[in-house]
Amino acid sequence: MRFDFFRRASEGAGAETGASTQPEAGCEGHLAYAMLLDAQRRVIGYRMAWRAAGAASDASGAAGVKALMDTLAMHLNPGDEGWLLGSQLLFVDVTVDALFQSELQSLPPQQVVLCMRADELMDADLRSILLFLREQGFGFMQCAGAVLPEDPELRSIVTHLEVGANDVDTVARLRQDAQLGHPPVEPVASRVEDWTEFDACASRRVNVFIDGAFRNPPVLETEDALQPESLLIVQLMQMLQRNEDLRVIEAALKHDAALTYRLLRYINSPAVGMAVEIHSLRHAVAMLGYSPLYRWLSLLLATSNKAGSPYMMKKAILRGRFVELVGQGMLPASEADNLFVAGMFSLLDQLLGVSMEGVLRKVQLTEAVQQAILSRGGLYGPFVALAESCELDDGQAARLSEALFLSPAQVNAAQLSALVWAQGASPAASEQ
């Protein structure tokens, strides 16, 4: 049955397009994603989209979905390594023609939710392919329609329902239906304006898609708001910058056994990939040197705010890694740690709840890093600006990447590689 579906789809497409198997014009484009958060603001998945080149391109059509699936499979599900995002889900907007593409088979069905309009899901002519894909393990999110199909067979296809932030009645009805024995349908909110609406969704156990425009509440204007652990990390970072004796640094670190444990845990994480286990700060310096240790202290600083949200921590780590990756090959290898710090520290005010000026009065950074953080200028600024544009999905990514002589494929690869890397580096994932 599987091969018959996709064989017939391929033959039909060939009849209309001259049987060309080459990628369609306009397939080149940039990847965009929103994070799916649970009630605790933890990232549990991503909604992926394709921004095809050209304003008139239909990014959710067959060509866009093919390009998106190929890109996701290449970087998230390589044949020799398998699925690299663990239990996290991918939500992908598709149209009818995309359902018949063999590229859907390039990702693990259990991790993919196909997002479609209600009228398309209820189309009787599509029932066979929808049931076939559901049997394989693909999920379906019904969009733009709060009423589920009455037909039990069609209803069994829908696994997620897009709801409004204040749609209390629909959420209550879904919970009641599940209690009555209907197949469970998870509500997902995608048009949430601020954290107040998010909290309203969280109180009803509704997962929420968050885009790059979301920010934490206004920050405090004084650096005195830094927590004790944050201040100790700042002190250690300044010692490293001054190349102070390792024994002095070790003595300062001994004041906080929990911090020592966290530092060693991160250094021994898969993201670092050390061949041997690191047991002490002295061992870490011997194996890594001062510069990489500074980088990992910066990661600890970004995650030191106990009141901070896992979402912001994940976002900062992803930005830091993305900036580092897109800068590889363009700047000397010695700049990698500075690129990472510049990317992650550009969100430090949001993470620590302190104004950026207050942070910079405490944390001594190079002039180039400060320029990137404050004005997106200097050596690292354009890379941070590109990262920010990709997060905001503001249509500027193509222009900014071209200015850095980066192809869309390079930018997309860096984004997805950062997602994979953050699986092992993010305390939001490792300390739940």
| 327: pLDDT strictly greater than 90 | yes
Strands 207-210 and 29-37: antiparallel
Residue 83: the pLDDT is 92
d(CA 225, CA 332): 36
Placement of tokens 């049997």 in the chain: 135
**Mean pLDDT in residue range 355-362:** 79
| 12: pLDDT strictly greater than 50 | no
To the question of pTM greater than 0.75 for the whole model, the response is: yes
pLDDT band at 45 (very low <50, low <70, confident <90, very high): very high
| 112: pLDDT strictly greater than 80 | yes
d(CA 195, CA 261): 32
The residue among 248 and 109 whose pLDDT is bigger is: 109
Q: What angle do CA 251, 252, 255 make, to 5 degrees?
A: 95
- CA nearest 337: which of 412, 240, 230? 240
What lies within 8 Å, CB to CB, of 277 at 6+ separation is: 268
Residue 356: the pLDDT is 83
pLDDT band at 218 (very low <50, low <70, confident <90, very high): low
**Mean pLDDT in residue range 412-432:** 75
- How far, rounded to the nearest angstrom, does the alpha carbon of residue 411 sit from its chain's CA centroid? 14
- CA nearest 167: which of 210, 214, 201? 201
Placement of tokens 């909290």 in the chain: 199
Looking at the DSSP bridge assignments, the partners of residue 37 are: 43, 208
d(CA 261, CA 279): 10
Quote the percentage of the chain above a pLDDT of 70: 87
φ, ψ dihedrals at 47, nearest 5°: -105, 115
Q: What is the three-class DSSP state of 188?
A: strand
The DSSP result for 350-410, as a single string, is HHHTB-HHHHHHHS---HHHHHHHHHS-TTTHHHHHHHHHHHHT-S-HHHHHHHTT--HHH
d(CA 44, CA 209): 10
d(CA 359, CA 344): 13
Rg of the chain on CA atoms, in Å:
23
Q: What is the three-class DSSP state of 33?
A: strand
| 181: pLDDT strictly greater than 80 | yes
d(CA 48, CA 59): 11
d(CA 108, CA 370): 42
User: What letter represents residue 314's amino acid?
Assistant: K
The residue among 393 and 282 whose pLDDT is bigger is: 393
φ, ψ dihedrals at 30, nearest 5°: -110, 140
d(CA 395, CA 242): 42
What lies within 8 Å, CB to CB, of 419 at 6+ separation is: 46, 76, 85, 318
**H/E segment holding residue 348:** helix 348-352
pLDDT band at 430 (very low <50, low <70, confident <90, very high): very low
Q: Residue 259 to residues 129, 227, 268: CA-CA distances in angstroms?
A: 53, 13, 14
The residue among 136 and 356 whose pLDDT is bigger is: 136
Residue 402: the pLDDT is 95
